[in-house]
Structures are given as C-alpha cells and as structure tokens.
Structure 1
Amino acid sequence: MNILVDDNREVHPYLENMKSIAKGIYVFLGEDSEVVIHDLSDPTSSIIFLAGELTDRKLGGPITDLGLEILRRAANGANPEDILNYRNQTEDGRTFKSSTLFIKDDMGEVIGCLCINYNVTKLFLVENIIGNFCKMKEDSNENSDQQQMQYEIFANDIDDVLSKMIEAAINQVEKPVPFMKKQDKLKVIEFLEQKGVFAIKRSVDRVANELSVSRYTVYNYLKEI
C-alpha cells in the first residue's frame, strides 16, 4: 500500500488529526481507492496526505478545480457542504465514485478537505455483463436519461490545472479565440471567475495570453461581470 504523509509541514491540528482517519479509510477500502487530505492554506501545494495511486499525484500537489471553485464560494460567504458519492470521470476513461468532505476550524472556516476516490470501473463492467444477461424482452423501454457526470482535474502541477480550466472555458464558448468578440471573452472570464481560477497566482497573465488581450483588459472584464 502506497501511503505518503508530509510530516515536515506545520498544519492545523485538525488536519494533523485527520491523517490517521484517512489512513484507516484507505486500509479499509483497499487498492482500488485513493484518499487525499488538502491543506487549503496553500491551494497551489495543498496535498499533505496521499494514500493510493489512482490519480498519480504526489505530496505537495495542487488542489483540483472543484476545490478551487469551493474556495471561491467560501470566500464569498457561502458555507460549503460535503459533496458525497458523486460520479467522476477521468481523461483515460475510468469512473470513480468520489466524496469531498470539508474540514473546518472552531470558527467554521474551511481549512482543508478529505477527498475519497474509489475506482468503480471494473464494477460497472461486471454490472453491464450481469444486466445484459438478465435483460428480458419487456425491459426494452428503458429510461434514456443519463446521470450527469462530474469531471474533476487531477494534476501534480497547478499550471496543468489552470491550462485545462482555461481550455474548458474556451470550449464552452464554441468559437476559436481569433473569432471571439468581447461578449465571448466575457463569457470565458465569467466561467473562470466562477470556477475560482483567479485565486491562482499569475492566472490573469495566463488568461490574457490565451485570449490575446492585455492583463488590464482581463481586469476590466472582471469588473464588468
């Protein structure tokens, strides 16, 4: 079992106490799981505990895009609630059952989070085999609606998280950057702001470069939205 613990970094006592709980969860769930503790005092290097190898991350890795979005909401006064049992799809096609639980201090401020991923890909394959075998003629009228999947960016480098979030923002406009008008770029900026991107250092410069505008234009767009 691969369990990595950052014992050199000074963290809040509540986060320190959570390490033994995280280890117990991982040992209980086994090698198809991954348990991570994030110290949100530094989103760019937040991983202080990592058990498992599902996402190939390392100690000192950054928070995910989902974590950034939650931080942004908390900064605006929202009280984030735990996100339990959501479906997560990786770029290589694996499916995780995931949960994110927030760790708060005595004042109710979010200081970290405990994230649990379980690889259910093989279980889905077995489920499909059993489902196909048991399917009867009268079962043909199935509900075609699919559950919406959560896509979360797992990375060892905050620049990688930033790049993929900018790419997602541009893709949702469905127009190449050279053909974008001001309103299109405002949509990109609004998408990124809602995702908490601008909490990352130097993100304004990166976004400005991708949109072929000045950093001052990005600041003006932020004021406008």
Structure 2
Amino acid sequence: MKKLHPILKAFVPLVKALAETLGPDCEVVLHDVSDPEHSVVAIENGHITGRNVGSPLTDFGLYLLRSPRFRDVDYVANYLTRTNDGRKLRSTTVFIRDEFNTTIGFLCINYDTTKATAVKEFIEQFLKLQNLEEIAGTKEEKFASKVDELLAEAMQEIKSLTGKPLRFASREEKLAVIKKLDEKGFFLLKGAVEMLARELGNSKFTVYAYLREARRKNDSIMI
C-alpha cells in the first residue's frame, strides 16, 4: 500500500468493518483523491463493481472534487448508480477532509439492490389483494367456528342494513331482506328459517312463502 495521509490511514479498518457488518452485497471503498488515476487504496467486496486497489476515481468522484456546489457538503447519501452490467446500486459518498478543510479522500458505500428488489417485488405481488366486496358484494369473509355464529353474523349484517328491528319492517322490506339472505346462501344453513322467523315475528311457513316469492321475482328478472 502506498503511503497514506494519516487521516485516510485511520479509515482503512473502517472499510473492513463496514463490509463485514453490511454483508457481501455491499462494496466499501476508500479513495485517496491525490491520485485520481489510482485513487482506490482500500476496497472490500470489489466484485460488485469489478474494481480493486489501484482503480481510478469515478466520473462522479471527479465532479465532486471540482464542483463548488459540494465544497461544504459532508456527504451525499442514497443516490442511484448502476454497475456496468446494469445492476442498481444504492450509493453514499462521504467526504474526508484534512485540518484545512481540503478534501483528501472519499469513503464510498455501494449496496447492490438486486436481492432487495427481488424481495420487494415478491412482497408486492404476494400482498396484491382483490377487494372481496367488488367480487361478491360482501365486505369480508367470516371465519365462524360454529353454524350459530355464522347465522348470527349474517343476521346482524342484515339488521344493520335495514336500520330497524326486522319485525317492524314492511312486507316489501322483508322480501328484500330474504332476497339478500338467499343470495348470501343463508338458507343453506340448518336453523336459518327458524332464526329468521323469530326476527321477523312471522311463522316459518310465512318465511318459506316469502322465500318462494323472492325467488320467483328473481327468476323473472333473470329471464
């Protein structure tokens, strides 16, 4: 290793420590800008960009050295760069300055986002959900452990739609309730007719009559 400025030399162990901490997808590079053509003086995980000790400063690094815009900037964090084969990197450059505030080096971190992007895309696809209300007209699926719970939940939903006790509903309102419950498969459950009859204040035979009428009307609409 060529003779380094003492401040830069102190950063060499940090290069190794950061690389071990951040893992094999993270390249950590120390540049000595006094020799732009061979600025890399320490590097870990150089396989990410294909560089090694003795590699030159990047074009962006040269720009940072010359641009007055970055004269008093301490670091540039989390910007997008790309490898020669197109992989996206999440990059950060830290300015290293001497006691005269002159930039003597850069500490650069380049994180290969390929794996992280694949995970992100998988999670986004995995969590891409269809709205059940758009599919079936119901807000959510009920996971009841007993039939009685399923019946009660269906009944509660219907009562919340009418806004009043079902026994006070008109005949047409009761027919609409029965039609809605029939569409939900309510009458496929044992005890459904009896429960509804109690809520409506009618006999189960009246409920059966309402159900037949509702289905006739529905069939005629479909035809």
TM-score, with normalisation over the residues of structure 2? 0.55
Of structures 1 and 2, the one with the larger relative CO (CA 8 A, separation 6+) is: 1
**Contact 1:98–1:118 at 8 Å: present in 2 too?**
yes
In the TM superposition, residue 137 of structure 1 has moved relative to its aligned partner by 4.7
**Contact 2:40–2:55 at 8 Å: present in 1 too?**
yes
| Aligned with residue 22 of structure 2, among 20, 23, 29 | 29
In the TM superposition, residue 109 of structure 1 has moved relative to its aligned partner by 0.8
In the TM superposition, residue 77 of structure 1 has moved relative to its aligned partner by 8.4
Aligned: 1:58 with 2:52:
yes
Pair 77,97 (structure 1): closer, same or farther in 2 beyond 3 Å: closer
What percent of counterpart residues are identical?
38
Counterparts of 2:42 and 2:54 in 1: how far apart (Å)? Answer: 9
Return the structure number with greater helix share. Answer: 2
**Contact 1:50–1:58 at 8 Å: present in 2 too?**
yes
Q: Number of matched residues? A: 130
TM-score, with normalisation over the residues of structure 1? 0.54
**Contact 1:70–1:80 at 8 Å: present in 2 too?**
no
Pair 26,77 (structure 1): closer, same or farther in 2 beyond 3 Å: closer
Q: Post-superposition, which runs of at least 4 consecutive aligned residues in structure 1 deviate over 2 A? A: 76-81
Counterparts of 1:83 and 1:77 in 2: how far apart (Å)? Answer: 9
Give runs of aligned pairs for residues 151-190 of structure 1, distance below 5 A.
Answer: none
Pair 77,70 (structure 1): closer, same or farther in 2 beyond 3 Å: closer
Per the alignment, in what secondary structure is the counterpart of residue 107 of structure 1? coil
Counterparts of 1:100 and 1:32 in 2: how far apart (Å)? Answer: 17
Q: CA RMSD in A?
A: 1.7
Pair 114,130 (structure 1): closer, same or farther in 2 beyond 3 Å: same
| Aligned with residue 83 of structure 1, among 76, 79, 83 | 76
Partner of 2:104: 111
Cα deviation 1:68-95 (Å, max 9, x = unaligned): 0011115x88323301111222231211
Q: Which blocks of at least 5 consecutive residues in structure 1 are unaligned?
A: 1-5, 139-225
